Structure 1
Amino acid sequence: MFEPKNITKSHIVKAVSRIESEGVVLKPSTIWNVIINEKTYPPKDILRYAHEEMNGHFKWEYTGGETTNKYLKKLGYIIKKKEMNPILDLIQRYKIHIKNTELKDEVYKWEIVNTYKGRPNTDASDFTEELKSIKFQNLLYHNSIGVINHLAKEFPVELSKDFKFLLNEAEPIQIRLNTFAAQTLKLYRKLEETLGTHQDERSMATYLTLHNPDKYTFYKSSFYKKYCKLIEVNSAKAGQKYIHYLELINDLVENYIKKDTELIALVKTYIPEQYNGENHMLLAQDILYQMLDKQSDDPTEKLTQPNKSDRHYWIYAPGEKARLWDEFYDEGIMGLGWDELGDLNNYDSKEEIVSKLQELENTTGSKKNDATANFDFKQGIQIGDVIIPKKGKDKYLGYGIVTSEYYYDNNRAEYRKCRKVDWIKNDIWIEPKGNIVLKTLTDITEYTDYVESLNKLIGIEMKETIIKLEINSNKPVNQILYGPPGTGKTYITKKMAVEIIDGNAPENREELSKRYEELVTSKQIQFTTFHQSMSYEDFVEGIKPKTEDNKVTYDIEDGIFKEMALKASAKKSSNFEEAYDDLIKALQNLQEDYIVLKTKTGKEFRVNVNSNGNLNLFTTKNINKQGVFTKNKLGSHFNGNQEFNGWEGYAEGVLNYLKKEFNLGHTKEDNQRKKYVLIIDEINRGNISAIFGELITLLENDKRAGNKEALQILLPYSKKPFSVPNNLHIIGTMNTADRSVEALDTALRRRFSFVEMMPKPELLKDIVIEEIVLSELLKTINERIEILIDRDHTIGHAYFINVSNKEKLKETFKNNIIPLLQEYFFGDYGKIGLVLGEGFVELVQPKTNVFADLKNYDGAQDYNQTTFKLIAINDDFNIIEAIQLLMPKTEAEA
């Protein structure tokens, strides 16, 4: 029998004593610990043992977090949040990541290791061919491969001896590394080469790994340094990094990977032919590489608002003669050329970029300026920096603010090295002196007079930029406000929605409501409520019956979420709504039966309006109806989505008519820079899996359109690709009195940030009604509810916030507080009386002689017990006296 409320402090003390004396090993908690006798313990295990001490049943049925912690808090124990282990967090994120990628991008490393294990064979008769036959792919720089193959061709005997020494396990590894580096350099100098050999620690690590993957693994200084920073250890000096790296890798394997059976099983599932679950060296390397180098979010870095003093100003050329400026502006990015270099993540230093450029262009020229532009594009530019695009020697084209780290976009045909930029202005400003720097990318920050002149010339407004950057960086795209009734969730939701869109929100309630309604009207904010019968077809899309001209038709209809996503995805804002509505009014007032329009090729067709406000389409001269153009689909088509397969000509004909007669057009405003907010009230009342369906994954920030790991799916009804744009925010609300956060759909909990909204009695401290301090009143009521039920069923301050006299106080109890308590306690008026006291609840004595006589029936008295009932709150009810009875007595009164 589970009786958590009967556990006392004595039971806890006995449980801890038993755990300590018997040396019981407890299961570690995920987030919280309870402090007992200056030691920390996992709360659920402590309560399991305490429950056994109390009634002999070793059990604890509640989930973790506040649901469990409240029982320990009530007994006076302190709950403390655990410090998170960054390595465990790294591995957990890796598991989530490979569930999406299934290791398809990285399996090649295991394949190479399995193919070339034990090689190179230093005793091969033709060592030149032996080395050349190994396909290193991207595990080595091109320069490294080129040099080592060149040396193998010119000095096969000498080089095979150098490799034999490098691979000789009888020698200390530091001596082997130093000797190999020195010997290959010596051979290279015999060829009268003056550049470096590129036989660095990364190269030697690759040779060692292929020869003996059970002991070694691949290395790159970039993720080695990030890992050192993550676990707060100093990185080693140059030449000693790989040995230190191997120590860290071995620690990662022994203390984490070997013990993580879930991780091992997961990797075996995806690459069973390449990974047997025993050798973990390559897996350890893959975790560090994928999580620290390949992923855009570096867990060792916190995104912070740059100080003005840290912000840099850059002059930038968007392609030759600024030919890509319009494209970059529309897409909200900046790109860099030198595409033959590939991804800049493959280079650890500016010197490596110089070497690659010299190799590609077959030159010994310095290439310093070109390498600097590439290095600065990846490493120099920071989030928050100002980018000023230019054209030629005398024209500035605008300015923007960098909003992302460097990333490489394989989907672009050219200029694949990218950063996201919030372009603020787009125009032409002439440089008075006519001598803008010619380089592709130039940091002008230190030239303060020049920067100040550009601020004045272009009108760079940093205040606006900072607000936008804060919103982009810090506001989660998916949030849920949860708490008991009356805690202000509705008001805060409105305020948050306005803040997301405008950058700030009016403090005045009336002004806030006015602005909120304006944004609802413009459809930047939409509101819906989930309920038990809400379905995917209502929310995303489905086939719905319609009556048009007294006939039932069936069409695929977009739900509120898809409608809003399409609107947010449009590149430019438009006046389509107004133009279409004007067309409908004109058609409704038309004396003729239809209007005649033309396709682009000159073919005539006709349209009129049906009873649903959509357009009937007639394509033939005998006026037979061929189809219907709905407002939503026409608008979507105008915004660039493919909606009318085979009917595009007619749709364009309607849109051209709208442009000509009703001034339909796109504004200059970039719609994708605007924010949209969908508010879902009572989100916990819907069946999340059924409503969101396969879209639940697309809600994640990094899976949204425009982000690095963007995904799209094929919708089941329309068979069209769909993705969730990154400028669409979702705010949900949930009432914890209906359902706890722990009971929510797990998939939803993983993808939303949760904001707790609890009662704030302190907001009522200045409201006093005939010596009744409302803050104390609310505290008293909630303390009693928390003991009888839990904190999720407390009562919010919003019910009392507008109470100004005793009549309004009476109305609040009659219409809000008492109905809530009736719901909470399922009509148990005795418990309601424990909360409100004898001023609100009275005793009902059992009636005498109520039953007919029946001999030998002993249970009649069980049906006629003392009960309680609510006192009617009518005109004669004295609310002040009732509340005085409710409030706890002081020591003097007692």
Structure 2
Amino acid sequence: MNKTIDRTWVDFYKELAEKLLEFREKREELIIKIQKVYELAEIKLPTLERNNQLTDIDPFTIFGLFNKSSMKESNKIKILENVSELLNIKSKVPSSFDSIPTINNMGATYYDFEGYRNENDIDDLWTLFSVALTYAKEKRLEYKNQFIKYFDLVMSKRGIGNSKLTSGLYWISPKTYANLDSRSRWYIFESEKVPFEIISLMEMGNEKITAEEYLTIIYNLKTYLSSTKTSMSDFIDLSYEAWRYSEQVNKKKTDEIETTDADKDVESINYWMFSADSEVKYWDFFYDNSLLSIGLNKLGDFSTYIDKKEIKEKLQEVNEFNNNYNNTANAVWQFTKEMKIGDIIYVKKGQSKLIGWGIVSSRHHYNINREFSNSRQIDWKKKGEWITPVKPSNKILTKITPYSESVRKLNMLFETEKFDTVIDTEVGFPKYNSNQFLNEVFMNEKYYHSLVELIKIKKNVILQGPPGVGKTYAAKRLAYSIIGEKATSRVKMIQFHQSYSYEDFIMGFRPTETGFKLNKGTFYNFCKQAEEDSENKYFFIIDEINRGNLSKIFGELFMLIENDKRGTELELLYADEKFSVPKNVYIIGMMNTADRSLAILDYALRRRFAFYNMNTSFTTMGFREYQENLQNSKFDELILCVQNLNKEIINDETLGEGFVIGHSYFCNLKEITDSILTNIVEFEIIPLIKEYWFDEETKVDIWSEMLRSSIK
């Protein structure tokens, strides 16, 4: 280990675990103390029960309160300082949380909410917590047997998986229990850092592990850590090294990616439809064991095939029938190569029924000794029977991501909008800071910081400027630079148009086959998502904001978006419901000042938004450096000609600065050819000046010839 690890948390977490045991029979008192912790920390208590009516809680969930993946370190410290005071903990409050495993915000409780959990679920969690601490202190056989019994019992419950349960055990006794979150599993089993002879002794598939399998992993890891083959000495070292090395690998991957689009290096979520018809008798097994398989064991390990053609040939061989097998081969390929952690999968039965949905939580795994040799782990969210709102394909596996209307209907049916951005947050989003923003957007650094300050103070800002100054290009990057990472789950972009309505934006009734249904709109869902994660900033971006009827679209929420009205509740038009715009939601709009077909924005909008002028960046240090790297004299002449053209536009009484030609027409060029420059001039710049000077043909002809001459 090349760095001294801050282990302050170990003693604090250990003492907290012992303190919590004292409240096993005094849970009402414990709930009051937890509520007081958040009150003193001035942080909103997360949703821990349906309608926030908290009646019971388990100790693992309490540890999860300050071990969330997206929680700021400062908020973790605030919470623990108040926990320390209210529970009289003597150990020093930790100030560093590097390498401590975290859990996702959306699944932060170890129990299901009332109405879904069994009567003894929370009691079983308390018992496992207690026997785990007892077994950690004394390795007697009777304690081991108790641990095995309750580990398996808790693991069998819905919403509990390998990562979540082993992280909880690691928190309370990190020298006894190994953390098997996604980072650690990757480091142990896939990074090739742990010797093969150690890995070969351990079984770790996609399915939920048993207590016996977990204890075997612990034993073999301890054997490895006590050997001379590594400088690590315990599970704390191992968890830290897994965290450190994965950060290093992730950074390298991010640095190697050339970003031409704001989200190019962020994996987006895909949606899938799985047909259970051929495997319907196994559906309960899949659900109870948090897995999914498409069968076809005769193919062996799916991951060994190099393309779909090879899969089809193998299918023809094992079935002794010369079918084309296109759909089956495609399903095998997608299940193995394209499906990703964080993707959402819907399960159908027949042509009219849906029977469940879940989130993909592992990569493809092959185990020849299991009934389903090729499988993936799925965090199933719901099981039941619903009439499908879409016409499903007959294929066993269908990627439905391109069919946005079908995805929207399914999201509404299951209310999965709040889940549709769940990805493997334990690995994290690519980092993004102000330097990266300035390198990509070519904005003056002083102007950038002024804009960021304006957004934080006003909360609602419109980026206005002529075409080509990079308003849309900058918007998401601006949000990411403030967040500090490319957190796609916290940034939403839409585009207004003349037909966009309140019903699209907030909520409204939509026709169905049997009548009408109240549907929630994009902004409503986004605000609800942000409300559940109040410690993080959320950005709602509206392109072409002046193309919509703002009063009609925002309706009664026009008042609520004001900075000093955030958090104020108002009854919605279509629902008997109080609604507010959270304080952590920021709105960025984009407006083209050269669009003469649009009316001037009314005072109501101007009063609630700050307006930031985005100008051309030809003279910024970033663009000049970009221009110098291209080293092309024709490009240089064209830029000079456009700058002179802009002076003419600014001096024109009918136009002005709001109509200049922006720099984005000339950005992201990896190489310069005559045809590329000609296309920019003929099909982008000249049509624009023809529109500007539609009644001055002579001026258009003069400048067209000057632009063409600059690149000859």
TM-score higher than 0.5 here?
no
> Taking structure 2 as the reference length, what is the TM-score of the superposition?
0.37
Q: Which has the larger radius of gyration?
A: 1
